[in-house]
Structure 1
Amino acid sequence: MKYNRFPIWICALFSLLALSQEKKAGPIIENYGAVFPVKNPDFKTNINEEFKVVFDVAIGPDSPEELNLRIDTAARFLNMHAQNGIPLSQLKAAMIIHGSATTNIMNNEAHEKRFGVPNPNAELLQELMDNGVEIILCGQSSKSRNVPKESLIPGEKIALSAMTALIQLQNDGYRLMKL
């Protein structure tokens, strides 16, 4: 009988631990960007700093029906810092899109015309832009992958190249996150 109770106790403990480690989205991007809470980290976050990041997104998912989790990283960045006391006004983010991720930022109409399904990233991209994230497409990828400006979600921008945009943003104090 002792042996039958021991596994139940272990299961209950692991269940409680799992619940305490549940990911949570929001408060900035409500439906995306879920993160784990980290209680009392040893390396403290300076909540008075401005956090400026440029995400380099060159890889898209295998299927046009899948969310690009690299794009979701920007939502995680915003939510994680907001959950830990950093106001949105101190969070500056840009996302440079190129390579196989190029078609991931198309508007629903263009995406559906090309792939037969609406863009699974469209809602996330709109929420990111609504919260100040710049979405910048490499002009070279735009041309090589046949994704003209008209195919983009309003508010997305095209740069001369990903290289150019990355250099300019880094010159403006943004820190590079290569995804």
Structure 2
Amino acid sequence: MNFTKITLTKTTLLITVTTSILLASCSSMGGMKMKPPMGSAQDVTDANNVWQALKSVNLVGNNRKKSHPYKGQHPHGAVLETLHETITVDGHTGLAIVKRNYGGKGISNASVAQNRTKYLKAVTVMFKRESGYNSDNEDWFWAKYKTNGGLHVKEMKNGMKIKLAGRVAKGMPSGCISCHKAAGGGDYVFADKIKVN
């Protein structure tokens, strides 16, 4: 019985020493922090430019084009509306897919068709960037906008707040990229009617 106590004590001591060494190693790296794959100043600038390009072709904003609302699901909205068009942002021309996310009390396809502004909660966008932007994930730029064009912010478990633009949730088990990776055809697009070149 005393032997077990000694073994546990040695194991606990070994774990404590190993943890201390790891923590000391990390702190000696100059406080290096991992940068998230999204929400950088450049991502925010790019998102603003994408929004302006979408606005110029009436995919977002007060004069936005209408489509047919359809039943949606989490994480987007109870009712959705999807449109797509080729746009040019900073000299690059690519496909933009705009998903309007609707929610709220009394929502239905018909109620959204009658009053889109009342039920609109977010606008999620995929924009096909130039080759090499994010080749692991088909070069898509992702953004989740508020209805006024500002970006939604996600608070991470460590308290960091990140704007949802760029390579959203790249390498994470859930989020835009990991979900859309499962879309048929390998193009990250669930809507069969939208063809990606």
Q: Rg bigger for which structure?
A: 2
Normalising to structure 2: TM-score of the pair?
Answer: 0.24
Structure with the largest fraction of strand: 2
Between Structure 1 and Structure 2, which shows a larger proportion of helix residues?
A: 1
Q: Which has the higher contact order (CA 8 A, sep 6+)?
A: 1
What is the TM-score of this pair, normalised by structure 1? 0.26
